[in-house]
Structure 1
């Protein structure tokens, strides 16, 4: 079998693909692989840009292990880990519940989103891992661990964002909240105005982000305020949503990418035009419909979590180097906030965080741009998103994550022979300590 990720920059040939339906079948696959000395990688929707999901011998796909298990009256939602976020959002909405925060893409599986550190934006809100209350983990030798704050607490703490290195997630229990709406306000703003009081702007309401258009001094600001569903919904008309989000937004980016591929010199003037063509808009809709955006064009991405006060200088230096080095960047840079959390390998572990994400078209070579961005982020202690492209190794990452050693110790205990590892995990965590 052949495999490639969503962006097409990670590929594998000649792999053995398994589709287990039950926890027992997951355990059998892992036990057999462990005995045979074969490496196993679980995969979700393949939306990671890094090599975290790249299989080397055996791939475990949970597309047949993706059902709802239970929703309690208190909003504890248990699902099989192969369920996608967009399916989970639909299930929750039907039952009057919602996830308290989401990223802007919902194609990932629950397992994949957790394992790579998926997050949204909101200065007072954590990533998806902070919403986990219990999980069932199948370890490399086929053992099944029921994990929570009071049972296997060290494993639970680490496995909320486990990189797929501790075991295969079988079921996950998250804390949902009563369904709520978001009042969306999107409008173009000058970048300098946003950066002048970045913290004030990013904390001006519940969920704030902005997209800066390289080669310009403009950005698109998005401010979403939580409101009760009972106050009424006022969604965008269907024709407007299709026209603005599908035709204009996705079409404009696709056009910029295509034009830049043929004539790179066209990217800066077209980016300036795109940044000035935006119109303000407001609407109120169910939270998951506002949080999530469609992505109809393929790209590659690198994202770092940095201290919030580092963002203005980081963006200004990126803007300067973009012109100096002649990079042609048709896709905006995204900036978001998140609250500090207690998850060992979370990019927001122990500190309030800003996320800066840069993008290039899928079929371009981002080596110089991504390496330079990573160097700038590293100068302020930046931590790379585990599912996005970076070139750091375990020695560097151990300095960036105060609880790095704690995570690796759990990994070495649960998988000392590296059954669940691959080249990416060997690089970012170090090779497992082998028994014997």
Structure 2
């Protein structure tokens, strides 16, 4: 097990901390040893995923534990679609691991840098009216509990522990292995277009049922939207991509290089934010693509940003969007990054933002060099009137009292968590603020 001690930060740089020591085990026994080491030292232990959260979920002045040395495929069954991965396995690596078995993840988001354990523990999701987030795909877990014991849990084996640990914020135990329900490999056809905002929003719920995966990007204070639609195709569908030079121009030169320069300029001269948003809203759409699912879902995101995301009951989406748009325009908010609108199916995961309700997500972003708080708080306060639940891995300012009202199984989760970790080894000041 390699150890180190250095300052750390979240991907966006919004949260920074200096731990006592970082542990990097490479085996199950190494993870057990790390748990005992933290207990012996009397300090907290927090598990690092891919480091892509925007909130302070993993920040600790104790011991962070990285599972980067504990990755890979444990098993895959093409007949059932059940796949077991080690907790540190990065999402970008999963497609290659599953390809020999003719399997794939049923859905992904547009960022694939997270670990699988981190993705389920924070409620990561993609878009699609009939697809849940990652936690909803989980069928079994292997955990190291804070007493050093290794347990296997599933809906039939300690079901309450399983129900809490599927999306446990890293507070139930260290996730060693995740068993997921996967699907036969498939390809995706991606079509992007620029549309007038009002009809794109007005038809979003219907469009997201008609299409396998559907999302909207709106650059605030413009009257147009970039609409991304994906359809699932057989695994042997003809692959179609733009010429390599054209793709590099769209994704890297325009989508990252030029975008970074435009955002930097608007951060220095705020009045440029409106023309930057206008330019982006007209040029964001790319070319049609048909390819393996993982390569179509994921997009390079090299321009750093702060993010807050809110889960709304689907039936309240349109009125919530109208209220937010009105607030942004009336206060003349200067922001370059788009608002992202996605949809996910209801699930039965206790702390899921889509627990027992068809859900639409609104995600607000702000360039990392700009002060994010006022804008993201405006979004939070506006959407609070519509029963919005915050994404656990992104920025928000709610505490245990508000969260208990939003999550029906909140107290059940806390009871299981306290039984699994009575001494609070896996807790931190931020998590005590969230969970009480």
CA contact (8 A) 1:114 1:128 kept: yes
CA contact (8 A) 2:240 2:291 kept: yes
Which one of 117, 123, 127 corresponds to residue 117 of structure 1?
123
- 3-state DSSP of counterpart to 2:231: strand
Residue 385 of structure 1: how far off its partner (Å):
0.2
The aligned counterpart of 2:43 is: 38
Summarize deviations over 1:313-336 as a string: whole Å, max 9, x none: 333333332233342111111000
Distance in 2, matches of 1:265 and 1:156, equals 50
Summarize deviations over 1:156-187 as a string: whole Å, max 9, x none: 11111110010110111112211101111110
1:343 aligns with 2:353: no
Which one of 351, 356, 361 corresponds to residue 362 of structure 2?
356
Alignment of 1:120-199 (within 5 A): 120-199=126-205
Residue 279 of structure 1: how far off its partner (Å):
5.2
- 3-state DSSP of counterpart to 1:66: coil
Deviates further, 261-270 or 90-99: 90-99
- 3-state DSSP of counterpart to 1:379: helix
The aligned counterpart of 2:55 is: 50
The aligned counterpart of 2:97 is: 91
Distance in 1, matches of 2:403 and 2:19, equals 31
The aligned counterpart of 2:112 is: 106
Cα 1:280/1:143, change in 2 over 3 Å: closer
Distance in 2, matches of 1:121 and 1:278, equals 19
The aligned counterpart of 2:12 is: 7
Which one of 379, 385, 388 corresponds to residue 385 of structure 2?
379
Residue 93 of structure 1: how far off its partner (Å):
2.8
Residue 124 of structure 1: how far off its partner (Å):
0.6
Residue 141 of structure 1: how far off its partner (Å):
1.5
Residue 70 of structure 1: how far off its partner (Å):
1.6
CA contact (8 A) 2:19 2:63 kept: no
What TM-score do the two structures reach when normalised by structure 2?
0.95
Distance in 2, matches of 1:420 and 1:104, equals 29
The aligned counterpart of 2:417 is: 411
Which one of 22, 27, 33 corresponds to residue 27 of structure 2?
22
Which one of 297, 304, 312 corresponds to residue 303 of structure 2?
297
CA contact (8 A) 1:253 1:331 kept: no
The aligned counterpart of 2:3 is: none
Residue 14 of structure 1: how far off its partner (Å):
4.1
How many residue pairs were aligned? Answer: 430
CA contact (8 A) 2:225 2:281 kept: yes
Summarize deviations over 1:196-219 as a string: whole Å, max 9, x none: 233112222110001001120111
1:265 aligns with 2:275: no
CA contact (8 A) 2:129 2:345 kept: yes
Which one of 244, 252, 261 corresponds to residue 246 of structure 1?
252
Distance in 2, matches of 1:9 and 1:312, equals 31
Deviates further, 179-188 or 199-208: 199-208
Cα 1:370/1:135, change in 2 over 3 Å: same
Deviates further, 132-141 or 310-319: 310-319
Distance in 2, matches of 1:151 and 1:354, equals 32
Distance in 2, matches of 1:366 and 1:73, equals 45
Distance in 1, matches of 2:429 and 2:40, equals 20
The aligned counterpart of 1:314 is: 320
CA contact (8 A) 2:78 2:103 kept: no
CA contact (8 A) 2:160 2:416 kept: yes
Residue 278 of structure 1: how far off its partner (Å):
4.5
Give the ranges of 4+ consecutive aligned residues of structure 1 lying more than 4 Å apart after TM superposition.
none
Which one of 49, 53, 61 corresponds to residue 66 of structure 2?
61
CA contact (8 A) 1:19 1:63 kept: yes
Cα 1:283/1:14, change in 2 over 3 Å: closer
Which one of 203, 210, 213 corresponds to residue 207 of structure 1?
213
What TM-score do the two structures reach when normalised by structure 1?
0.95
Structure 2: segments with no counterpart, 5+ residues: 1-5
CA contact (8 A) 1:252 1:274 kept: no
Structure 1: segments with no counterpart, 5+ residues: 431-436
